[in-house]
Structure 1
Amino acid sequence: MQLQKQGIRVLGISESFAHRDWSVLCGVVMRRDLHIDGFCFGKVRVGGMDATAEIIRMITSLDRQDVNAILLNGGVIAWYNVINPVEIMEKTGFPVICVSYKDSNGLSGHIRHHFPGDEERIKAYKDLGERMVVPLKTGLFLYARGYGCSDYEVMKLCKIFTLHGKIPEPVRVARLCARTIMHNTNAGKIIDNPSSG
């Protein structure tokens, strides 16, 4: 990644769900100066295993070659719908960074409780690997995993895009957008006919 570029762009992807069948995903393309110049939308099944394929579809739908990295708001979304960041990286050509915000002993026990015998889901979760602690300019920290990028690049990118608190701006805006769509009466039309801009 060319982290020194003023025009560096990331695609931040986050979700919103409220114990329904589907979770709404939003992707926001944001430049280093916080200029937003692209959106994409999708949906995944709550408790499913379709997040990886849908995120790849969303990234492909943008048809952007100027994105420097994909920033995911978590590696496990929509009630244990586990993402495969390595597959996303390999199929899109972009480095992937997953961020989270709380200390945790892991989700393996929860997954085994809710999905007994689902070894594919357990393996997908374990394949995410260990998280690293990223201290931020705000005095707080987040946890991150990087795929196709170095630990230095993960830390630098998170610091560049986190201005307040500990949530990087691209995923913060994506989460707000996804939440708005989820609660909008026309949400079904938007996510059934996903588009990018």
Structure 2
Amino acid sequence: MHVAKSGLRALGIAESYSGREQSTLAGVVMRKDLRIDGAAFARVTVGGSDATDAVVRIFNRLARRDINLLMISGSVIAWYNIIDPAAVQDATDLPVIVTTYEESGGLAEEIRRHFPDDDARLAAYRRLGDRTPVRLHSGYTLFIRSYGLSIEDAARLCNDFTREGRMPEPVRVARLIARGIVRSSGSAPDDHDR
């Protein structure tokens, strides 16, 4: 992938957690010039283990060959439903950048407390590894995990897709759409793209 390419497209995926049995994921296809040209939705089980499948489902439903990378807002969503970015990369054959926005001492103790007998969930969390801080041109620090491309290229793409603040536009817009769906209907559409 040529990261400087002006027509590059990212699929940004973000969640709106509503505290119910299911949470809403929205995916937004955005060009590097910040033009949106696609969206899809999925549900994930709160406290479940289906987040990775939901991300891949969004990608597959779009049926787009012009998406160059995925940007995912967080790997631990919907009350410890853990996305496996390496599995997403394998399933989509695209690089994946996971973005988070605050320093953290980690979630291992919280996972142990809430899911004391779930060794697989704890192992999935530990496989995520460390995050790398990236200083954005906006002055904010973003924390990323990169799969399938170098940290340097991932940092450049995060900067290219960030207009202001700390959140790259594909995931910022996906989060806004997911929140709008939850507020207007109380749940996601029936997992169809719109």
**Alpha-carbon distance between aligned partners in 2 of 1:108 and 1:187, rounded to the nearest angstrom:** 29
- Cα pair 2:23 2:187 within 8 Å, conserved: no
Matches within 5 A, 1:41-190: 41-185=41-185, 187-188=187-188, 190=189
How far has the Cα of 1:196 moved from its partner? 2.5
Alignment: residue pair count: 194
- Cα pair 2:74 2:98 within 8 Å, conserved: yes
How far has the Cα of 1:195 moved from its partner? 2.4
| Partner residue in 1 for 2:192 | 195
With 177-186 and 101-110 compared, the bigger mean Cα shift is at 177-186
How far has the Cα of 1:97 moved from its partner? 0.6
Amino acid at match of 1:81: N
SS of the residue 1:58 aligns to: helix
- Residues 186/120 of structure 1: CA separation in 2 closer, same or farther (3 Å cut): closer
SS of the residue 2:143 aligns to: strand
Alignment deviations for residues 94-117 of structure 1 (CA, whole Å, 9 cap, x no partner)? 111100011011000000000002
| Partner residue in 2 for 1:22 | 22
User: What is the TM-score when the length of structure 1 is the normalising length?
Assistant: 0.96
| Partner residue in 2 for 1:7 | 7
**Alpha-carbon distance between aligned partners in 2 of 1:6 and 1:195, rounded to the nearest angstrom:** 29
Query: Does residue 37 in structure 1 map to residue 34 in structure 2?
Result: no
SS of the residue 1:158 aligns to: helix
Give the root-mean-square deviation of aligned CA atoms.
1.1
**Alpha-carbon distance between aligned partners in 2 of 1:71 and 1:95, rounded to the nearest angstrom:** 9
Amino acid at match of 1:49: S
**Alpha-carbon distance between aligned partners in 1 of 2:4 and 2:111, rounded to the nearest angstrom:** 40
SS of the residue 1:104 aligns to: coil
User: What is the TM-score when the length of structure 2 is the normalising length?
Assistant: 0.97
How far has the Cα of 1:186 moved from its partner? 6.9
Amino acid at match of 2:142: L
What percent identity do the matched residue pairs reach? 46
Alignment deviations for residues 133-190 of structure 1 (CA, whole Å, 9 cap, x no partner)? 11100011110000111111110110001111101111010000000101113745x1
**Alpha-carbon distance between aligned partners in 2 of 1:77 and 1:186, rounded to the nearest angstrom:** 18
Amino acid at match of 2:192: S
How far has the Cα of 1:18 moved from its partner? 2.0
After TM superposition, which residue ranges in structure 1, 4 or more long, deviate above 4 angstroms?
A: none
List alignment gaps of at least 5 residues for structure 2.
none
